[in-house]
Amino acid sequence: MEHSVSYIFDDKLLEHCDKLPPVKQRASMVHALIESYELLKYMNIIPSVKATPEDLQLFHSSSFVKCMKESNDLDLDDVNEEQIEFGLGYDCPPFENIFETILTIAGGSLTAASRLVSEDTKIAINWCGGWHHAQRDEAEGFCYVNDIVIGIEKLREKFKRILYIDLDIHHGNGVENAFAFSKKVFTLSFHKHEPGFYPGSGLLSDVGLGNGRGYSCNVPLKEGVSDYSLNYLFKIICPQIYEAYQPEVVVVQCGSDCLNEDPLGQSNLTLDSLGECIRSILNWNKPTLFLGGGGYNLPNTARLWTYLTAIITGQDKLISMDIPDNDFFLKYGPGYELPIVKGNQKDTNDKTYLDCIIKTVKDNLKKYDVKSSL
């Protein structure tokens, strides 16, 4: 039976994503929970097609691709100055078969984008994608390849106006930088912005450059953002941007490190607020690509992306709040439930600050005359 949702999955994709140093076994944990909730039967399962080195150059430089290829069998101890220059080491350490992994990750999002371009699906999901920090010439922030930009470049074969929405707790700097000078991709990032918090970019005043000025929007959040604050901003800002820009396709990065209990994100959010964001996007009824991203509390990442899969497939009102038996069941203790509790940090994003952001975004859309005609 054909469904309107395509789910990118195959064993090789999981195998390679399970090797990524900061999130080992996460891909398998996510897939196992989705499978245990019997959500696969509501989607078309599409095996990914590995990208080629030429595909990587839809965004990355030839010298970066060459360096990654030559680093395929590198040991951490073997890293030289050239590899360090291209970002290998520190938060992106080399590992065995790294180039094959990069090609496989990029291939997952390319496969998803291709389904939308060919109109074989209305919605595509690739939870193995969403690596938004990688730059044209540099691996960065646990991201060895920017599969998002590569996927968007594929979408540009068909769609003239693409809206990119980033829900990760970290600023989507790699994607914004890639399209900073373009009106053909509008980038919108909700993220924490505090002194010392990675990557340190994404100010409210950062609105794009040159011909693309006004076509980037950043929503910098203070410590302790709550479900209320995120949804208050999202439900006002997103419709304003949507109405002004009139996108033909939407790409959503659903990083789960914004959830409570994430060791890097340190935020208050629960599944509820992210779910409301996704429902709002689905109501636009546009071709949409949903991607993963950050998420370093692995059970909570699996909870979120499973819950979002249920929303996307229309099954969220029917699934059990008790975690079904699966290969990683013991990781969900002690409660073994799907929901997560909200954090108890003080939300320093008061209404005055939230309204200031909303006013600035609205003024910028008018100031830079953001519109659908290109």
133 is catalytic: yes
Instruction: Indicate the CATH number for domain 5-43+120-130+156-367.
Output: 3.40.800.20
pLDDT tens string, the chain, 374 residues long: the values are 567 999 999 999 999 999 999 999 999 999 999 999 999 999 999 999 999 999 999 999 999 999 999 888 766 667 778 888 998 988 898 888 999 999 999 999 999 999 999 999 999 999 999 999 999 999 999 999 999 999 999 999 999 999 999 999 999 999 999 999 999 999 999 999 999 999 999 999 999 999 999 999 999 999 999 999 999 999 999 999 999 999 999 999 999 999 999 999 989 999 999 999 999 999 999 999 999 999 999 999 999 999 999 999 999 999 999 999 999 999 999 999 999 999 999 999 999 999 999 999 999 999 999 987 55
Q: What is the pLDDT of residues 288-322, one digit of tens each?
A: 999 999 999 999 999 999 999 999 999 999 999 99
| Assigned token pair, 169 | 């707790």
Phi, psi of 243 (to 5 degrees): -65, -40
Looking at 31, 60, 132, 133, which residue is catalytic? 133
One-character DSSP codes across 117-170: HTTS-SEEEETT------BTTB-BTTBSS-HHHHHHHHHTTT-S-EEEEE-SSS
Which residues neighbour 51 within 8 Å (Cβ) at sequence distance 6 or greater?
103, 104, 106, 107, 110, 150
Greatest extent of the chain over all pairs of C-alpha atoms, in Å: 54
What percent of the chain clears pLDDT 90, i.e. is strictly above it? Answer: 91
Please check whether residue 64 is in contact with residue 135, taking contact to mean a CB–CB distance below 8 angstroms: no
